[in-house]
Copies of this chain bind each other. A is one copy, B any other.
Amino acid sequence: MLNDSKDFLYPEKWLSKASTGERVACELRMRIISGLIESGTTLSENKLAAEYNVSRSPIREALKVLSNENLIRLERMGAVVVGLTEKEIEEIYDVRLLIETFVFERLVKNDTAHVVRELTKIFEMMQIAIKYKDADEFALQDVLFHETIIRSIDHSYITMIWNNTKPVMESFILLSMRMHFNEKYDDLSRIMKNHELYIDAISSKNREIMIQSLHQNFDDVQGKVDDLWMSQQMLSKAREQEKE
């Protein structure tokens, strides 16, 4: 069983009806992005299967998924971990900027009332998540917020891009939220302000505001990148000390 080991990074309640393969993918993704599995490591299907007490079938499935997300590179012998460097995180946000800009241009051609209503709901959920200091829930709603915007235009290939970037983004946001959800309140309020701005832009169909919010979101990320970077550094130092 996959649940033998206790310390999983990915919230189990989000995996209610996920297959073993998806579970493994989610967990491995978190371990790679958090730096718990270092870049350059070679993963073997057999070893992973033994580690997670499952057969190779779901492991293979998971590795295919992670390879699609650019987190590992499937080679002739073994899957080598690529991981997320600062560059890659910037790049994934490039993509989000790109598609959200595109989506906005589509969105303003139609009635946005329905989307705005949905986004407002999610916004309020995020407020509750802050109130109860639930970092995971906050991250989930944050991602859902952007997903809602993107899916609203019903564009199959934009959706495809989102589907491929979402898991990495989700894990990344999840980790950085957990890291300092309780400390940096000013960060959170900035994020909330920014989401308000998104809603404003879509509701008023104001291109200027949209650009502003997209840009600010990017700045927010910069901070998160630094945090993750630091945490990875800390982890690897801790490992080194362990070895001594």
Q: Choose one: B91, B94, B156, B164; the contact of A88 (CB below 8 Å).
A: B156
Q: Does A165 contact B (CB under 8 A)?
A: yes
Chain A: residues with Cβ within 8 Å of the partner, total of: 23
The CA of A161 and the CA of B159, in the complex, are separated in Å by: 11
The CA of A119 and the CA of B61, in the complex, are separated in Å by: 36
Q: Are A160 and B68 in contact (CB under 8 A)?
A: yes
Contact residues in B for A94 (Cβ distance below 8 Å): 102, 155, 157-158
Chain B CB within 10 A, most for which of A94, A102, A156, A164: A156
Which B residue's beta carbon lies closest to that of A160?
A: B70
The CA of A87 and the CA of B98, in the complex, are separated in Å by: 21
Q: Are B95 and A158 in contact (CB under 8 A)?
A: yes
Q: For residue A78, give the distance in angstroms from its CB to the closest CB of chain B.
A: 16
Q: Does A92 contact B (CB under 8 A)?
A: yes
Contact residues in B for A151 (Cβ distance below 8 Å): none
List residues of A (92-149) whose CB comes within 8 Å of B's CBs.
Answer: 92, 94-95, 98-99, 102
Contact residues in B for A159 (Cβ distance below 8 Å): 70
Q: Choose one: B64, B87, B91, B102; the contact of A64 (CB below 8 Å).
A: B64
Where the two chains meet, the residues of A that have a C-beta atom closer than 8 Å to any C-beta of B are 61, 64, 68-70, 87-88, 91-92, 94-95, 98-99, 102, 155-161, 164-165
